[in-house]
Amino acid sequence: MTESPVPSAADCPVLWPVATRWEDNDHYGHVNNVTYYSYFDTAVNGWLMQSTGLDIRTLPAIGVVAETSCRFLSQLSFPDDLQVGIAVERLGNTSIVYALSIFRVDGDDLTPAAAGRFVHVYVDAETRRPTPVPAEIRAVVEALGQ
């Protein structure tokens, strides 16, 4: 298996701030691995809501997570300040694949802490059947480029 390169903030069209919380630390004094996924989720959905100006929870189509992965690069702990890098790997008819990175803010530097991906599949909010990515979301994702 070929190892992916370490992410760079320069490769991320969007950097979304996320603060660690006291409760994120586990018994070993670092952010528990499952919490990284919540940082991804918070960043993507926060960015979508801010960039579209919509409450995405009220759209007739919702993005559900169909796949997610994370490669851990360095330890995080409270009270680290973070930036989550958001890029688009692929925009399909009913899905979006995000390439995501977590960076620890070290003064003026951003230190890579994790690299991951998130697949949102859009489904009808009532029937839960696949449906096209809403036009408002497609527009902001297309603006990021692929």
Count: domains in the chain: 1
CA of 100: how far to CAs of 43, 58, 87, 118, 136, in Å? Answer: 9, 25, 6, 7, 21
Residue 17 lies in a domain: yes
CA geometry: angle 54, 82, 88, nearest 5 deg: 50
pLDDT, tens digit (0-9, with 9 covering 90-100), for 11-33:
999 999 999 999 999 999 999 99
Residue 55 lies in a domain: yes
DSSP 53: -
Residue 4 lies in a domain: no
Residue 28 lies in a domain: yes
Tell me which residue range forms the domain holding 20: 9-144
Cross-strand partners of 134: none
pLDDT, tens digit (0-9, with 9 covering 90-100), for 57-109:
899 999 999 999 999 999 999 999 999 999 999 999 999 999 999 999 999 99
The model carries a pTM of: 0.92
Residue 56 lies in a domain: yes
Residue 112 lies in a domain: yes
pLDDT of amino acid 2: 55
Residue 1 lies in a domain: no
Residue 3 lies in a domain: no
pLDDT at 1 over 80: no
pLDDT at 37 over 80: yes
Q: Coil, helix or strand for 70?
A: strand
Q: List the CATH number of the domain containing 50.
A: 3.10.129.10
pLDDT of amino acid 6: 79
The dihedral sign for the CA sequence 51, 57, 59, 63: positive
